[in-house]
Amino acid sequence: MDLVDILSKDQILPDLQAGNRFEAIDELIANLVVTGKIKPEHRAAVTAVVRKREDQMSTGIGFGIGIPHASTDLIQEVVGALGRSKKGVNFDALDNQPVHLVMLFMVPQGQFQKHLHTLADIAKLMHKAEFRQALEQSPDAEGMLKAIKDFGKK
């Protein structure tokens, strides 16, 4: 599952306002509701599942990256949203550095292999310094999506 398969321009927030990881998660889930990826009546339950996962251990993996994720039976397909914070978000990351790129995704309940593969693919792509730089320097969501398409093929 490539990022380009689960993200559209509308699911990319180039200017996250969040100050901490839970605000970032809320902002990205709100985007998924607005873009029709999550039903409005499921918003609270989905948020609770992602927050519960985040409470176990921060998904701030270092290098300015956060990858909050969870499984839920409230979705039928893998969904995601990407946020960029110029000022950085306090994510309790492994390296104690602020997070600038937050890639939230959710996988339907019971699809453990897909969950692991999606997480691994996203982490591998996000660990590429040139990719992060392209996302951080893109002027808008369209530019960020182009970077995802360009690097996702490599």
Q: Could you read off the pLDDT of 65-78 as tens digits, one per residue?
A: 999 999 999 999 99
Chain segment 58-106, per-residue pLDDT in tens: 999 999 999 999 999 999 999 999 999 999 999 999 999 999 999 999 9
Domains of the chain: 3-152 (3.40.930.10)
pTM: 0.95
Q: Please state, in angstroms and rounded to a whole number, the distance separating the CA atoms of residues 20 and 152.
A: 28
Q: Which residues are catalytic?
A: 69
Among residues 145, 147, 153, which one has the least CA distance to residue 13?
145
- Helices 129-137 & 112-126, crossing angle to 10 degrees? 80
